[in-house]
Each structure stands twice: as structure tokens, then as C-alpha cells.
Chains A and B, each alone.
Chain A
Amino acid sequence: MINGFKGKSKARVVTTAAITAAALVATIGLGTSTSSAAFKSADVNTGKLVYWFWGESDIPGSTAWMQAAIKKYQALHKGLTIELVPQNSDTLQGAFETTAQSKSGPDIAMQWATLPVLTPVWRGQVSSLKGLVAPSEMANWLNTSENVSGGESWAMPLYLLGQPFVWNKALFKKAGLNPDKGPTTWKEFLADCAALKKAGITPVVMGDKDGFFGSWFQGTIGTQNLNSVKELQEVYAGKAKFTDSKYSDYLTKLAELKAKGYINNDVTSIDLTQGWQAFAQKKGAMTWTTDGNVATWIKAGMGADLGVQSVPKVGTGKLASFYTATQSISAYITSWSKNKQAAANFLVWLHQPENVKSWYTATGSFPADKRFSATLIKDPVMKALYKLNTLPNQLWAQNYAPPQVDSQGLQPAAQGVLAGTSTAKQAAAAIQKAIDAWRTQQPKDLAAYKKWAGV
């Protein structure tokens, strides 16, 4: 063999080596571009992207973080401009639907996970991430299953959002209750409410002028008699009736809170955020909130007074042991964007480890990425929240309600109960009507929903 090698001309050996080296370089280059579509080529990241961003209501400080991130990304890609347009909760869905009608507007938009994302997907307003983001990259993202339809992933999660049940330990102590133990059953919850009320403390403080609390109460309390998400989907698809007590019993519980004076008397005239402000001002002892708000309260020095846990157990279904968490808001690329790859590259970049870390440091909210190191969490309350958020069984039921049913049914029905003008039975009937109306008015959305849910 050695002799044989020696027998070949030097020139031939050099040529072979050069070809091999060139092939290796080409292979490495190709490997890089296919393993991460994000960094396919530098010239893709040029032009202008318009990004409709929402996050501040969930995560105070998120807009400032995103602005800083964009500045950093633009410095990396001199030919690219990203215009950040913060959105309001009230108009988030409406504004996108309006702009989608003219097929113009943002390149990247955001909606809450599942139905709010999938509805525009089914209307052809969103681009699939397939081919834009490498599967190996997406494998690092958490809760992507919430935005899957037709076997494809349609949106990028930014952070995890849990909906903890929070109580003020100082007020519990004042009412003679154990400050370190929140109520774990409905019976305990009512007993705590009675003790707090007796001590002159408003037991629960919320705001429902914008209707969200109604959806949240349904999501956390109203699903506890169900055994699967499919059962929840069946009621919207018309296979079951919302008036069935397994779906509507939560409205009786809500009416009970109102009738016994266990909830703030101005609940229907203040919005969700104002309700949380009232909790922070110690105007009530318990509330339903988000991780982001807890993080803000900890920063404001309330940490020692905060107890967090899952909502009290009310039902006997399998979903009663699920924690309410989601990836919350998801970013997607619009179908009309002329710069889809640049948009995808930016979204991928937001998930790079240094950005994931920086997001947590700046906002205290947990990134929806496996690469986030939980050792960064130092606060015991936040540690407890992260543990809840990463439990295997999670569900944010509101995301499974068609937006029209949510805004025309779940929300006003609960408002009627809280205003004291509707009985639980009337409220359940109103929700059923809203479901029937959606099914009649949006037959194509209904067909897509049924196909997606498999019901």
C-alpha cells in the first residue's frame, strides 16, 4: 500500500486533497445552513419588519426588553429595521382582523396561544413556521403543541405564563388564618372567605369590567368536572350542552361568591389590572393573577406577604388536577409578509440562550425555552411558580374557546352574575346561545375547529 501510494504522482495527491478539503468545507457550510435556517444567509436579514407586540399586561417590562432586543439585533444586521408597535389587550384580536382584511400591516404579530392563533391560521392569515425555522431549533421551544394545526407549528412562544391563585399572608394573619396555608378545597376557600369578611377584609379582589375574569374563572374552576380537553372542545363543537352542570357549575360558585359578599363590590366597574392594583394596595386578601404580576409585586417588596398555589380543588374530573398555564402570547409571521425568512430569523434569535437569560433577568418571567436554566431563579415564590408552570398537566382553557364564544358568551355571562342580575342558570343559557350563534355564523371556523379538535 505504501509503495503504491508512493507510485502516484505528487500533483495527483495534491489535487485529491484539495477536492476533499473543498468538499468538507461545502459539507460544513451546507450543514450549518440546514441545521439552522436562522442564519441561512446574511443578505436575508435586510429591509423592514413591522412587529405588533403585546406582553406588557402579562409581563410588565416586556415592551422595554423587546425594544432593547430589537436595537441589539439591528446592530447585528445593519440592513434591517424592525418597527415595534405595542398593542392593547382590548384591541389585539380586532386590530389584527382589521389589518388582515386588507392583507397589509405587520410582518410579525402576536395572539394568545391556541384558538386566538389558530383562528387566523384557518383564515389563511398566518405563515407556517415549517421551512422557516429548523425543527432542531423549535425542539427547544416549550408548549409549541398549543399552536399546532394540521401537523404544523404556526407560532413562536416567548414566555410561560401561569395563573396562580395568590393570597396576602399579612391579611390572612390579621383574620386569624394560617398565613402559610392557602385554601385547597372550595370548602376551605369559603371558610377563609368568611373569616376574612368577619375581620372586615374583602376576601377576593378582582376586576371584570373587561370580562377576562369570567373566562379565567371558567378556565380554572369551570373545567374541574371534566376528564379531558376533548370534553371541553365537544361543548364548543356542539356535541354537548354548556347548560349541563359539569360545564356550568362554576357559575353557581361565582354567584355564591357574589351573594355572600366575598368579592369586591366594584368588581364589574373596574378592569382586571385595576383589580390587581387593589390587591397590591391590600384592598383584598386573595386574587387570580399571572406570574408577571407576582414578579412585579416581589420587586415592589411584597414578596414576604405573598402565598401562591393552584386554585382550590372544586371538581372531581381529571382536569381538576391540571394547573392553569400556557405559553400565553405567541408570535407568528403573517401570510402577506414579504420578508418571512428575516422575520423567522429574528424570532429564532430571540430564543438564543443569551436572550433567554436576559429576558428572565429583565422581566422575572420564565422563558418558554428548554435552554433556560432554572438555577437562575432565586426567589422562593418565583421558584414555586416555576415548579407549577412546568408541571406535566397544564391547561389554559380560555384558549380552547372560540374568541367569539369567549367575548360574547363566557365574559358577559359572568359579568351578569357578578352584577347580580343573572342567575347561574340564566348565565349558562346565555353561554349556550353564544356557542350556537358562533356555530351558525362561522360555519367555516366551526368546520376547522372540529377538524382540529377531532370531534
Chain B
Amino acid sequence: MVLIILLVFIYPLIAVIRNSFYSGSISNLSFIGTANYVNLLRDEVFVHAILNNIKLLLTVPITTAISLSAALILYENIRGWKLYRVILFLPYIIPAAVVGLSFSYLLQGNGILNTALRNLHLNFAALDWIGSTTLSIYSIGAVIIWSQFGFGVVVLTASLLSLPTEVSEAALVDGATRWQRQRFVIIPQIKETVQFLMVLQAITALAWVFPYIYTITKGGPANSSMVMDLYIWQYGFSLGAVGMASAAAVYLLLLSGVLIFIYSRMRKRQSDI
């Protein structure tokens, strides 16, 4: 088991850290110390990529809020709730590349969405969703929310269904309104699931957005939707600059590590209480 862990996790990690101190292609490396780390921080595109990843973290509270709202509605046993849950889950099971390609056509300057808006005489709303340097990253964020929130609904619904009904029923007997029951009785009971879901979504926003970005904007226009994992791919695989890609991967790892650390601290504080 230890050998497998060493082989699968530790060795690649060490290799990435080692390569981050070299320049050149993998077959022709030269040691350059910490130059890659310094160069990355001086590279506006990389800094912009980090900022974009942070912007995409905004999708986490939004996705969670939408997922939670939908899960609570379904929890109220509305008619056909199982069917609705399946429908809401569908976007999550569609491969990200397919989602990306579909939305790339939908969101083009003269794509389906804008054509529909213009036909409705809403020309002011027909923006260049993926061709504008200011909008592209937010458009991708919206696609990620659309694609991911079904997963949140399923996870939270499962958590809600596992709750004992007595507490909620007692609140009902005490005259609590639906909002009060949800806010003060139900949500606190699934707090840990919500937190776990948020950490998963945050990691997705940091390190798993490549297929969306690649298929919708390719990181453009003018690197405006560049994110860290696309940056790593470009340098590591497209350009063969393994050192730069490895150093960027180490930064990404550190950023993910910070998130996991925060989550662990939160868990610890809760268990202490």
C-alpha cells in the first residue's frame, strides 16, 4: 500500500517539484534554480490566470445557494420531485467537453442566444459573451454553475433525506414557519455536507475547469479567460516548457492546499465546539 502511494502520489509530486527548477524541454533540461517561480509572478498572463481562478471561486457560493434552494424545494416532497431531481442532475452527467462545445455555439456573438434576444428586440442584452475580454470569464462561470449545480442538488437532497424527521416535525408543532424551519432547523443539520460540497466545488473552480475553458474560449480573447490549469497545459504540453508548467502546478497545488487547510480548520473548530 505504501509503495502504491509512493508511486502514484509522491513520485509525481516530487517529479513536478524537481522539474520546476529547470528550463527547456523534458529531453533537454537545464537547472535554473527558482527562476521559473520568479518569472511566473512577473508574467501578467499567469497572474491574470490566478485572478480568473479566484473569480471562478465566486461560482461556489452561487452554485451552493442554488443547489440548496432546489434541494429544499424538493425536500418538501413536491409532486414529481424524483423526476425533477433526475432532470436537475442531467447537466452534471453531460461530459464537460460537450457542455463547452454546445455553449461555445450558443454564446457566440451571432450565436443562438443573441439571435433569440435580437428577435425579441432585446438588442441591448445581446452581448459578445465569449468574444469580449471583460465578459468571457463570467460567461464561463455561468456555464460552470449550470453544469455543476445538479451535483449539489443530488448530494444535498441525499443529506436532507437522511435527517430524522422528528426535529422538523417538533418545530412545525411549535408554530415555526417554513422559512424558520429551513433556516434554523434543517440547514444547520446539513451544515457539514454543505461545507464539504463547497470545498469540492472550490477545488473544481481551481483545478478542473480546463475542458470548459478550452472548448468555449481557448483562454481568450487575449488570454482574458486564461486559468491556471490551461496555462499549465499550454506550457507543459503545447510548448514543451516543462519547468514553467511544473512551477505553475506547484503554485496551483499551494492554492488548493490553502483551501483544504481552511476547510480542515473549520472542521476542527466545529468538532471542538
Chain A contacts to B: CB under 8 angstroms: 90-91, 93-95, 97-98, 100-101, 103, 119, 123-125, 208-211, 264-270, 274, 403-404, 407-408, 412-413, 415-416, 418-419, 421-422, 433, 437, 440-445
- Indicate whether B21 reaches chain A with its CB closer than 8 angstroms: no
Q: B221-260 toward A: CB 8 Å interface, digit per residue (1/0)?
A: 1111000000001100111111110000000000000000
Q: Which of B23, B45, B109, B110 contacts A443 (CB 8 A)?
A: B23
Greatest chain A CB density within 10 A among B24, B25, B30 is at: B25
User: Bound complex: CA of A258 vs CA of B136, how far in Å?
Assistant: 19
Interface of A is mostly: helix
CB atoms of B237 and A269 under 8 A apart? no
The 3 closest A-B pairs by CB, nearest first: A266-B109, A269-B131, A416-B222
Q: What is the chain A residue whose CB lies nearest that of B107?
A: A269
Would you call B128 and A268 a contact (CB within 8 A)? Answer: yes
Is B134 located at the chain interface by the 8 A CB criterion? yes
Shortest beta-carbon distance, A192 to chain B, in Å? Answer: 23
Specify which chain A residues have a CB less than 8 angstroms from the CB of B218 in the assembled complex.
Answer: 90, 209-211
Of the four ranges (under 10, 10 to 19, 20 to 34, 35 or more), the interface on chain B belongs to: 35 or more
Q: Give chain A nearest CB distance to B108 CB in angstroms.
A: 4
B191-231 near A? 1/0 per residue, CB < 8 Å: 00000000000000000000000000110111110000000
Give the nearest-CB partner of B129 in chain A. A269
Chain A hits for B111, CB < 8 A: 266, 269
Q: How far is the CA of A209 from the CA of B222 in the complex (A)?
A: 9
Are B131 and A267 in contact (CB-based, < 8 A)? yes
A-B pairs with beta carbons under 8 Å apart, 20 shown:
A97-B238, A100-B240, A101-B240, A123-B25, A209-B217, A209-B218, A209-B220, A209-B221, A266-B111, A267-B109, A268-B131, A269-B107, A269-B131, A270-B131, A403-B239, A407-B239, A412-B45, A413-B222, A421-B224, A437-B43
Residues of A within 8 A of B110 (CB): 265-266
Interface residues of B (CB under 8 A from A): 23-28, 30, 35-36, 39, 43-45, 107-111, 128-134, 217-218, 220-224, 233-234, 237-244
Interfacial chain B residues near A441, Cβ < 8 Å: 23, 36, 39, 241, 243-244
Q: A123-B27, A266-B128, A268-B220 are in contact. Are A94 and B109 (CB under 8 A)?
A: no
Which chain B residue has the least Cβ–Cβ distance from A427? B222
In the assembled complex, which residues on chain A have CB atoms less than 8 Å from the CB atom of B238? Answer: 91, 93-94, 97, 403, 407
Chain A contacts for B26, CB-based, 8 A: 100-101
Whether B131 and A407, one on each chain, are in contact in the complex, defined by CB atoms closer than 8 angstroms, is no
Q: How many A-B residue pairs have CB under 8 A?
A: 135
Cα(A264)–Cα(B30), bound, Å: 46
Complex contacts, A442 vs chain B, CB 8 Å? 23-25, 241
Decide: B221 and A415 in contact? CB cutoff 8 A: yes
Interchain nearest-CB distance for B104 vs A (Å)? 8
Contact with A422, one of B24, B109, B222, B242 (Cβ below 8 angstroms): B222
The residues of B that contact A125 with a CB separation of less than 8 Å are 27
Tell which of A97, A101, A419, A437 touches B222, judged by Cβ atoms closer than 8 Å: A419
Contact in complex: B43, A421 (CB < 8 Å): no
Contacts of B223 on A, CB cut-off 8 Å? Answer: 412
Task: Please give the distance in Å from A408's CB to the nearest CB on chain B.
Answer: 7
Q: In the complex the two chains form, what is the Cα distance from A270 to B45 in whole Å?
A: 22
Residue from A95, A103, A269, A408 in contact with B109 in the complex, judged by beta carbons closer than 8 Å: A269
B36, B131, B134, B239, most chain A CB atoms within 10 A: B239
Chain A residues with CB under 8 Å of B39's CB are: 437, 440-441
Chain A CB within 10 Å — which of B43, B45, B240 has the most? B240
Given contacts A125-B27, A433-B44, A440-B35, 8 further A-B contacts (CB under 8 A): A95-B237, A100-B240, A209-B218, A268-B109, A268-B221, A269-B128, A270-B131, A416-B222
- Chain A residues lying within 8 Å of B131, measured Cβ to Cβ, are 209, 266-270, 419
Taking the nearest CB of chain A, how far is it from the CB of B131, in angstroms?
Answer: 3
Contact of B220 among A415, A422, A437, A440 (CB under 8 A): A415
A416 is contacted by which of B108, B221, B242 (Cβ under 8 Å)? B221
**A265: which B residues are within 8 A, CB to CB?**
109-110, 128
Choice from B28, B129, B222, B237 contacting A98 with Cβ under 8 Å:
B237
